[in-house]
Structure 1
Amino acid sequence: MFTTYHRLIAIKLIRFLWLLVIPLIPLSGTAQNDIISGKVVGENNTVLASANVTLVNDNGVILAFSISDDDGKFQIDIASINKTSNLYLEVLYLGYKKERQQFSETSSVYNFKLIPDATLLDEVVIRDKPLVERQGDTLEYNVSKFSKPEDRSIGDVLKRMPGIHVTSDGTIYYNNEEILNLYIHGDDLMAGKYGLASRVIRKEDIISVDIMRNHQPIKVLQDKVPSNKIAVNLVLKDEDSFKLSAQALLGAGLPKQYDLEITPILLNKTVKFLNHIAANNSGIDYRRDFKQLGTQNFISNKQSDEVAFSLSQGTVGSPDLPTEDYYINNSASINLNNLYTFKNDLKVRLNIQGLIDKNTLSYSNQLINYTANDTIIFDERQNLTNRPKILLSSINVMKNQKNFFFNNNLKINVSRNDDSSRLSFNDDSFSQNLSQNEFTISNDFNYIPKLSTKGIAEIRLITEYNTKDNKLNLRDGYQFPITQDEDYENVEQLLEIPTFYMDGFLSYKLPTSTIKQDYRLGYTRENREFNSTLLFNTTNESFIYDGDSGNALNWKKSKYYFISDFSVETKKIRASLNLPIFYQSINYSQKEYNLDKKDIGFFFNPNINFQYAFNVEKRLNFSYGHNTNFGNLSQVFRGVVLQNYRSLLSNNANLQRSDTDTFSLKYTLENSAELMFINGGITYRTLKINNILSSTIEDNIIRSELLPFGNTQNNLTLNLGFSKYLFAFKTKFSLNTQLSQSTFENIINDNLVPFKSNGILLSSNFSKSFLDIFTLDYTPRANWNFSRLEADDQNLSVESISYKTFRFEQNLNLTVTPAKEWNLKLNSNYISIKQNDFNSNTYFLLNLNFQHNLKNDKFELGIDVTNLFDVDEYRLYSITDNQQINTNFQLRGRMIIARLNWYL
């Protein structure tokens, strides 16, 4: 029997627990018809303070909540609630019977008079915190509800959450939409490179994962400038703690393997740092942590038009396998991320990433080229050695307040590659070296003040200097495939691309009117050079290629732009109209070819977006956009460039202009009460280009150039996604499908070759725990691709270039936890590939991991067995236009490593 003292203690404890787990909903800025209110009283109209008032559905799931104040009054915001099902208001107060009233959309006031119940204490049920809670546009996932004992990082837990998908490179999607960024308690510690954070932050440090829809991180623009972006926020359990956490790893194994890591982490509201120092030769590629997955500094990444042109040693990429299966490396990395918040809300952040690496890749490749009159086959075998050195650094200063936003980001990046290889190509064997150096310094200044006129101004200025130097040397038997008069011992291709870029604008926003307006006036300047020389060297002297004059191209581009942006936001509708007009002048010249071209004109790129919200969890979105884009200097140089041992490039067309029209219709459903997420959409894109790629394929070379003929490409994509948490099985299930069709044209050996490509992609995921011992995660994936010649009016057999490729992959992870201290993880990857009449190739890769926790989880001893069956080769089929590519990669083979983890 409870005494009076025990009753008082229980009442205070329950009130305290409710205050901890249920945040109050802000009432400001909410429409009156979206608020329900009332009063809770007891016997003789006694005011009952701190009574728990909840809005629940038929299943008893809490959808909204409040706590009565000192006058017994409460208010609940129901704007985000799906009201299609039966809903009830319940009031719970110790010493009184629970009262319930059915919710009606016609009533906004609900008063409760509770009846005393002396035996109520024996019947009180304290509801457990739900799996997810919705707060307006924010969906909060309770981390403890989705985590498993074997999970170490918050990234492991993210993969279990319905509606969330994490790709192999760490990119996070929510209901098939890529997130804007990943924040740590509201801060962008990682400058958008959040892959490392999700892998090393412990699940125990995070209380919830918040999905923030319509996210506007800049405070001066909140509730004034609408946003349709989605961001993820990791909410710390204790934002005031100065406790340092750290992870250290020491690993060694066979054959001659090692793995070293140390990761100190401190996360609180004023100081955040996440630093990672590591070295290994066991197949871990640290460049995955350098990848830009999200935006930086709360603002969009506004970059110059990148010239993606460089020399290369080979024409084959990496296999589509986990890096530890093929990446033969010796790497060291440093990744420093430090952010400090001063008392005046000034934030200073320093990010530094560095890498030193030596890795090798061995492969044999057969390239089948179909032309109108012949089939030309390239056979090649290459052993590549790459030696990249990378240093990326940035310092950011930001102040984000209600009356202004200030941000300045300075970046300095340096990279160097010294690569070499030995190559057998058709009947020739030779060696080659490639040296690549790049230096970039840039500054991004952004200031957004709130003006006294109720308007908001914005100033942004971006400046960047970049230089790229490439030198490719082919020797020891390389035969240049085009006649050259002089005798030579080696061939050397030099390439330099220096760039200066500037973009600045002034903006004035009127966010208080019914139609929100934003007017932007800006100027862009771009100066580049394209310098290349093809040399033939002997022991004593060098000769310049006599087929042309090389390249010394000057490029100047200036653009004046004026953008008008209008948006309307109501309870159901969010619409925006973007009307950019720009005047552009592009001049490129080179006197050796009597080349002096100037392209000027006015252009208009309208974009419209319309969203209708049936409720906060169900939306239909339509968008249309037209974009006129122009090529860069890599598409107008006239002199021959030997890009690699079998590719000669030049151009004989004016500047490329492309006009793209994109139509998109999307539907999304988020049923947070049932934890069901559905997305579907259709996208149609048509691209019109004023030139076309022409390729001439000869016995040992492919010569490519752009010709001045019109070219149209079309693409249609349909997708449907479904993700659901099955409460009865306590598991996540997802299913995604995508259908795509594209048409395009190329000129192959002077024949116009139109192609059509169709693709079907199906993927699923199922995760389930059994008997609290077994955890199964199963992901099947099937991909069909069909490509064929669309017309047969040339002397070309349709069947000869008709491709059919099927790839089926099954990834299965099984974790067995017989006791708290022990677990066994089994990871298997089954791959089956079929292309045309080739024999099917199947692969089965199996990895094992044993873990034993020591001394209250402070130490973890693990043994990893990678590629248990010692599969040493992997064949990959791929299709590009008129080519079939069959590549056979050398894999790492079996590897055994013992790792000792220490967690502080």
Structure 2
Amino acid sequence: MVGDAMKFQGMKVVSLFIYLSLWSVLVFSQSRQLQGRLETPDGKPVPYASVTVKNDRQRVLAFKTADSQGTFLLAWRDTIDISRLHIEINHLGFKKVSIPLAADNNHYDILMEEEAIDLAEVEVKSRPKINLRGDTLSYDVASFTKPEDRTIGDVLKRMPGVEVEENGQIKYNGKAISNFYVDGDDLLDDKYAIGTKTIPHAMVKDVEVMQNHQPLNVLQGKTLSENVALNLKIKDEAKLELTGQAKPGGGLPGQYDGELNTILFNKKYKMLNVGKANNIGTDLATDFTAFNQAGRLSNMGNSRPAELLSSGTVGNPALPTSRYYFNHSGSLNANNLVNLRSGLQLKANVGLLLDNNDMDYYSTNDLYLADDTIQYSEIQQINRSPFLVDVSLNAQANKDTYYLNNALKIGYSGETGNAALTSNAAAMNQRISHRIRDFSNTLDYVPALRNGNILSVNWYVNHFNRPQILDIQSGINADVLNEGRPFDAVYQYTETPTWFNTLAVGYRIPNGRIMQSYRLSTLNEWQQLLSQLRLMQPTGEQSAYTGSADNNLHWQRHNAQLNATYELKEGKWETLLSLPLSWQRIAYEDVGFGLDETSERLLFNPFFRAKYMTTPEDYVSASYVYSNQMGNINGVYRGAILTNYRSLQTNDAALQEQRAHNVALNYNFQRNISMLFMNVGISYTHATANTIASNVLTDNISSTVLLPYENDVSTFTATAGISKYIFALGATTGLKGTWSTTRFNQFLNDELLPYNNVSFSLTPSFEARLWNRISLNYEGTGTWMTSKLVAGETAIRMPDRQILRYDQSVSLLYSPLSNTFLRLSGRHQYTSQAQLEDISYFFMDASIRYKLSKWNTDIELNLMNLANITAYETYSLSANQFGYSRYNLRGRMAVLKLTFNL
């Protein structure tokens, strides 16, 4: 039986073998073969694409993956009419190809055209949702929202890859955003911090991050861009009616905090109007910060003069303003936009600010010289009263065929400060005031021509003035200012009225392998620097400072520039080369000093950038910039200016010229679906100037003169960052690091001292919700700084200084009920400096919030500074200076606040 069974099994195997052999012969004798190659227009193979033969009912007859050289070979039974078949090729990063098959053709060489990725929405069941379409990454707001959140700013901080700085600036994977849109409209005109603080997250459906963003429709796809923009996509139901909030609040000791806002975001009309008032330490000036304004003015060539006078030498402490800001503040921030049927958009942004604040501090500064140490001490109680009026009116048409924009900006702002100050045991009273008058108009017209090329016309005009007055009583530093004779007061006045004008015409050729752009521009600048330094004598007579005449400097700068830009997008490569050649004439004169100088120069400032897409989501970019720039009016005045109570500045050098080379390399890695974002970058800058600041230090005053000596500064910086959403924990975690070293020179008391400053910082963050009722948030920053003199024997006589600082914040939120939230927050700061006592603080706050859903109202009690810390000490380090500062802080506070959702 066993032998019969084995025979039977053997016969089955033989029969199966014969059957398969006959079937294979039959198939191949009646099969059709198709072969070919996949390549890009420049002849490069397209590997590993899926190649499919389908019939007219989309049934797959044959399938094959192309090999590493892009070649493929398919076979199928030749029983179907060839005219009913087509070949289909699919590859991530390339357009889909579908070609009907011809009966007399068995070989197909197919060109593949690249296109941006279009991944359908991928939903992770454990949340959150994310959607990538082309260059736009969309975060589903509801997936990242937690019950305790109020505004969209609360949710943005939780989105991986998105960073919100303390000042309100938003970054995506380490890069600052260039535009902030509300449902596609730039309502807030770059002052978007007020939006993230005010817009309820419940109104927003998605947060869209638009990479390679081009705001002009007429230029989309016709120029390369590395900008990143953010758009809040508003829910349909939130567009129907006007909403808003009323937030009255008060507490002890004598605290008030109120806000009223109105919000409407529909297609035709958008508004965000916010009124605020408080004395709890909230600085309302941050609501008016334009994050990209400085860069935009620089691109226009506007060299706005810097502020010359100040009342002190110490800045604000490294704390939230709620800790040290003793204030009474009120503001109005009105943003209104209308879209007309014609496509014209009208927009008005109006800002008003009134403030009064106090700050008390004590500081000492040790200045190390080769054979001496000079110490300055400063005790100051200062009261400031800043104000702001800012009006911006804009009319814009942004169409596919042309772009037209006119922006009128009018600003009037200023500050008055009164201070009681003691410096090195000398008591004085100070009053400083400045007023800024700023007017500008920008006109842009960018039409597309019939031949497909693009014309651009830009005209920008600006008038700016900042008169400043510094009044000090009694007379100080008589040995320097009044030939050793006592006097009663010193009065310093400065003013720099400026007219600025630029006109540019451009012509862009977007078609062709290389996109070309040519721009011809002219720039005109007229400035005047006026200053008076006066002394009030005991006799009541006002006399001029005898050590120097007054400044009455007239300045002109005229520039004509031709800029040729070439852009190439080839496969995975993007390159841009900009070649601006400028002729510049600068003339300045001051009759009182016999000064009459003219400088004419040709300036060449090339820029090169290359970008390589290592994968459809990752890229490496490299850039090189050569900058050859001339100085401004602040570097050539000859008359002495008392910039603060202990600094007297002047210049004794020709017009400053600086040449700088900058090289940067960056790697950007992102996995949008898995929510992993990383960036790494290094940069090196070497700058050479023909002038150097010489400081002469005495026990009570420092004199600074700009001298004609060559000066080199070199900086190397390395940065890295990672942000990841951990699905298992529902947590967002991040880590950022920066290392920087700078070498530069200082001229102190006729001795040249080269310094090397090194700094390193590490910033971890973590946010998670535990057991659905507890939220944990941690942010920390560790910073190490050192300053070392690198000058042979001199270095032995001068101490190296270094500072180690930790700043950590942790917040724990517990929600015992769905409408109740208890929060406990702590912030620990630790500072260590060799040979000095360590400094350590732990601040603690608490709050409880209860939601009355029936009344659509929140009740919140905030308890601030529970430990009642009323003084704060810190160290600072810069070159040869080591500083110690002590500030008075706000004590314990309690504020009860209601929020009525209208």
TM-score of Structure 1 vs Structure 2, range by shorter chain: 0.7 to 0.9
Query: Would you say the 8 A contact 1:332–1:355 is kept in 2?
Result: yes
Go from structure 1 to structure 2 and tell me whether the alpha carbon gap of 1:876 and 1:412 turns closer, same or farther (over 3 Å shift): same
C-alpha displacement of 1:76: 11
Aligned with 1:615: secondary structure? coil
**Counterpart residue type for residue 560 of structure 2:** Y
Go from structure 1 to structure 2 and tell me whether the alpha carbon gap of 1:36 and 1:246 turns closer, same or farther (over 3 Å shift): farther
Go from structure 1 to structure 2 and tell me whether the alpha carbon gap of 1:45 and 1:582 turns closer, same or farther (over 3 Å shift): closer
In 2, the alpha carbon distance for the partners of 1:300 and 1:647 equals 29
Q: Which residue of 2 aligns with 1:782?
A: 782
Q: Which residue of 2 aligns with 1:464?
A: 462
Query: Would you say the 8 A contact 1:778–1:811 is kept in 2?
Result: yes
Q: Which residue of 2 aligns with 1:825?
A: 823
In 1, the alpha carbon distance for the partners of 2:473 and 2:488 equals 6
Say which is worse superposed, 399-408 or 546-555, in terms of deviation. 546-555
**Counterpart residue type for residue 623 of structure 1:** S
In 2, the alpha carbon distance for the partners of 1:853 and 1:462 equals 51
C-alpha displacement of 1:141: 0.8
Query: Would you say the 8 A contact 1:80–1:617 is kept in 2?
Result: no
Q: Which residue of 1 aligns with 2:10?
A: none
In 2, the alpha carbon distance for the partners of 1:529 and 1:77 equals 66
1:342-361 equivalence runs, <5 A: 342-361=340-359
Go from structure 1 to structure 2 and tell me whether the alpha carbon gap of 1:509 and 1:857 turns closer, same or farther (over 3 Å shift): farther
Go from structure 1 to structure 2 and tell me whether the alpha carbon gap of 1:814 and 1:516 turns closer, same or farther (over 3 Å shift): same
1:212-611 equivalence runs, <5 A: 212-238=210-236, 241-294=239-292, 302=300, 304-476=302-474, 478-484=476-482, 488-538=487-537, 540-611=540-611
**Counterpart residue type for residue 725 of structure 1:** Y
C-alpha offsets along residues 796-832 of structure 1, whole Å, 9 cap, x if unaligned? 535x331110001111111111111100112211000
Go from structure 1 to structure 2 and tell me whether the alpha carbon gap of 1:226 and 1:127 turns closer, same or farther (over 3 Å shift): same
C-alpha displacement of 1:895: 1.0
* TM-score when normalising by structure 1: 0.86
Aligned with 2:248: secondary structure? strand
Query: Would you say the 8 A contact 2:474–2:490 is kept in 1?
Result: no
C-alpha displacement of 1:682: 0.9
C-alpha displacement of 1:712: 0.6
Say which is worse superposed, 286-295 or 699-708, in terms of deviation. 286-295
Query: Would you say the 8 A contact 2:474–2:487 is kept in 1?
Result: no
In 1, the alpha carbon distance for the partners of 2:88 and 2:343 equals 32
C-alpha displacement of 1:787: 1.0
In 1, the alpha carbon distance for the partners of 2:522 and 2:726 equals 54
**Counterpart residue type for residue 252 of structure 1:** G
Q: Which residue of 1 aligns with 2:203?
A: 205
Go from structure 1 to structure 2 and tell me whether the alpha carbon gap of 1:178 and 1:886 turns closer, same or farther (over 3 Å shift): same
Go from structure 1 to structure 2 and tell me whether the alpha carbon gap of 1:750 and 1:126 turns closer, same or farther (over 3 Å shift): closer
In 1, the alpha carbon distance for the partners of 2:192 and 2:740 equals 30
- 1:806 corresponds, among 789, 794, 804, to 804
**Counterpart residue type for residue 594 of structure 1:** G
Go from structure 1 to structure 2 and tell me whether the alpha carbon gap of 1:38 and 1:345 turns closer, same or farther (over 3 Å shift): farther
- 2:842 corresponds, among 824, 844, 863, to 844
Q: Which residue of 1 aligns with 2:688?
A: 688
In 1, the alpha carbon distance for the partners of 2:510 and 2:94 equals 27
In 1, the alpha carbon distance for the partners of 2:259 and 2:743 equals 48
Go from structure 1 to structure 2 and tell me whether the alpha carbon gap of 1:391 and 1:437 turns closer, same or farther (over 3 Å shift): same
Q: Which residue of 1 aligns with 2:160?
A: 162
C-alpha offsets along residues 355-399 of structure 1, whole Å, 9 cap, x if unaligned? 111100100000101112210111110001001111011100000
Unpaired runs of 5+ residues, structure 1, are 1-30, 48-72, 84-105, 109-124
In 2, the alpha carbon distance for the partners of 1:270 and 1:78 equals 41
Query: Would you say the 8 A contact 2:692–2:710 is kept in 1?
Result: yes
C-alpha displacement of 1:720: 1.5
Query: Would you say the 8 A contact 1:620–1:668 is kept in 2?
Result: yes
C-alpha displacement of 1:158: 0.6
Q: Which has the larger radius of gyration?
A: 2
C-alpha displacement of 1:488: 3.2
Q: Which residue of 1 aligns with 2:76?
A: none
Go from structure 1 to structure 2 and tell me whether the alpha carbon gap of 1:481 and 1:199 turns closer, same or farther (over 3 Å shift): farther
Say which is worse superposed, 536-545 or 619-628, in terms of deviation. 536-545
1:691-706 equivalence runs, <5 A: 691-706=691-706
In 2, the alpha carbon distance for the partners of 1:270 and 1:375 equals 66
In 2, the alpha carbon distance for the partners of 1:250 and 1:303 equals 45
C-alpha offsets along residues 500-536 of structure 1, whole Å, 9 cap, x if unaligned? 0001100000001110000000000010011101011
Query: Would you say the 8 A contact 1:218–1:298 is kept in 2?
Result: no
Query: Would you say the 8 A contact 1:689–1:712 is kept in 2?
Result: yes
**Counterpart residue type for residue 318 of structure 1:** N
- 2:138 corresponds, among 130, 137, 140, to 140
Unpaired runs of 5+ residues, structure 2, are 1-43, 60-85, 97-109, 113-122
Query: Would you say the 8 A contact 2:477–2:701 is kept in 1?
Result: no
C-alpha displacement of 1:857: 6.8
Query: Would you say the 8 A contact 2:203–2:238 is kept in 1?
Result: no
Go from structure 1 to structure 2 and tell me whether the alpha carbon gap of 1:477 and 1:654 turns closer, same or farther (over 3 Å shift): closer
Q: Which residue of 1 aligns with 2:639?
A: 639
Aligned with 2:143: secondary structure? helix
Q: Which residue of 1 aligns with 2:665?
A: 665
Say which is worse superposed, 715-724 or 535-544, in terms of deviation. 535-544
Q: Which residue of 1 aligns with 2:175?
A: 177
Go from structure 1 to structure 2 and tell me whether the alpha carbon gap of 1:857 and 1:583 turns closer, same or farther (over 3 Å shift): farther
In 2, the alpha carbon distance for the partners of 1:260 and 1:81 equals 55
C-alpha displacement of 1:139: 0.8
C-alpha offsets along residues 433-481 of structure 1, whole Å, 9 cap, x if unaligned? 1121110111011000001121100000100111111111001354445
Query: Would you say the 8 A contact 1:188–1:297 is kept in 2?
Result: no
In 1, the alpha carbon distance for the partners of 2:637 and 2:809 equals 46
C-alpha offsets along residues 202-240 of structure 1, whole Å, 9 cap, x if unaligned? 111111111111111110001111211111111111188
Query: Would you say the 8 A contact 1:240–1:269 is kept in 2?
Result: no
The aligned length equals 809
Identity among equivalent positions (%) equals 32
**Counterpart residue type for residue 651 of structure 1:** N
Go from structure 1 to structure 2 and tell me whether the alpha carbon gap of 1:39 and 1:855 turns closer, same or farther (over 3 Å shift): farther
In 2, the alpha carbon distance for the partners of 1:714 and 1:126 equals 48
C-alpha displacement of 1:541: 3.0
Over aligned residues, Cα RMSD in angstroms? 2.8
Query: Would you say the 8 A contact 2:478–2:487 is kept in 1?
Result: no
In 2, the alpha carbon distance for the partners of 1:748 and 1:630 equals 25
Aligned with 1:871: secondary structure? coil
**Counterpart residue type for residue 359 of structure 1:** N
Say which is worse superposed, 236-245 or 296-305, in terms of deviation. 296-305
In 1, the alpha carbon distance for the partners of 2:124 and 2:731 equals 24
In 2, the alpha carbon distance for the partners of 1:483 and 1:447 equals 55
In 1, the alpha carbon distance for the partners of 2:394 and 2:361 equals 43
Query: Would you say the 8 A contact 1:669–1:677 is kept in 2?
Result: yes
Go from structure 1 to structure 2 and tell me whether the alpha carbon gap of 1:609 and 1:367 turns closer, same or farther (over 3 Å shift): same
In 2, the alpha carbon distance for the partners of 1:630 and 1:299 equals 17
Aligned with 2:239: secondary structure? coil
Aligned with 2:517: secondary structure? strand
C-alpha offsets along residues 625-648 of structure 1, whole Å, 9 cap, x if unaligned? 101112111111111100110000
Aligned with 1:155: secondary structure? helix
C-alpha offsets along residues 13-44 of structure 1, whole Å, 9 cap, x if unaligned? xxxxxxxxxxxxxxxxxx99899899999xx9
Query: Would you say the 8 A contact 1:81–1:616 is kept in 2?
Result: no
Q: Which residue of 2 aligns with 1:91?
A: none
Go from structure 1 to structure 2 and tell me whether the alpha carbon gap of 1:751 and 1:295 turns closer, same or farther (over 3 Å shift): closer
**Counterpart residue type for residue 642 of structure 2:** L
C-alpha displacement of 1:299: 11
* TM-score when normalising by structure 2: 0.86
Q: Which residue of 1 aligns with 2:8?
A: none
In 1, the alpha carbon distance for the partners of 2:222 and 2:133 equals 20
Go from structure 1 to structure 2 and tell me whether the alpha carbon gap of 1:862 and 1:78 turns closer, same or farther (over 3 Å shift): farther
